[in-house]
Amino acid sequence: MNWSEIAPAAATLFLVMDPLGNMPVFNAVLAKLDPRRRSAVVARELVIALVILLGFLFAGNAILGFLQLSQSSLSIAGGVLLFIISLRMIFPDAATDEAGDVEDPFIVPLAVPLTAGPSTIAFVLLLSSSRPERLLDWSLALVLAWAVATVLLVASPHLLKLIGARGSRALERLMGMILVVLATQMLLNGIRDFVQSL
């Protein structure tokens, strides 16, 4: 296992999952549940998200082959998606999430799209297609990122009380700024690969 590649992949996946930005949404959606039930629902939804992401990781090459997508197009699309997501993290909408009235959500919106969203799926597909022989390493990176996100989201009621709404927004914007750089690099890599393939 090459930890010099696993660690950056895990860190990027963690940033893309955006657990700090999702904490207020998770708490709003689950506000009507008692604390014990809330933890069980969060754990269930995050396990579903992990299964979905592992499915895309291992079926990535088959999906890309079936859709006849190239590596460069996936890099460019993933970079654009990450860029949009990161801009929303830096400049969040003032509108509140409409899912706050759901008492016991199943899959939507907590598992998909909040955790296993389009940008996370695109990055997982990019990992599996660029280095398919490293699927075990990418699986470990995904599980590590998911584990840290799970701990943060399960403990989110206490963390939100500790850092407050302003601290949560500041951390989300910081993560968004890091993602902008990663998205730009992914986009440039896709453009480079496309130009070299001409």
pLDDT one-digit tens code per residue, 46-101: 999 999 999 999 998 888 888 888 878 888 888 888 888 788 878 876 544 444 44
pLDDT score for 103: 61
Tell me whether the omega of the peptide bond preceding residue 157 falls within 30 degrees of 0, making it cis: no
User: DSSP string spanning 138-173?
Assistant: HHHHHHHHHHHHHHHHHTHHHHHHHHHHHHHHHHHH
Average pLDDT in the 34-42 region?
A: 88
| Nearest Cα residue to 45 out of 33, 57, 63 | 33
Give the torsion through C-alpha atoms of 191, 188, 20, 6, to 10 deg. 90
Whether omega for the bond prior to residue 109 falls within 30 degrees of 0, making it cis, is yes
Give the Cα-Cα-Cα angle 132, 147, 119 (nearest 5 degrees). 55
Angle made by CA atoms 131, 140, 109, in degrees to the nearest 5: 100
pTM score: 0.81
Structure letter (DSSP) for residue 93: -
Query: pLDDT of 168-189, one tens digit each?
Result: 778 878 888 888 888 898 889 8
Find all residues with CB under 8 Å of 76, minimum gap 6, and list them: 187, 190, 191, 194
Give the model's pLDDT for residue 166. Answer: 82
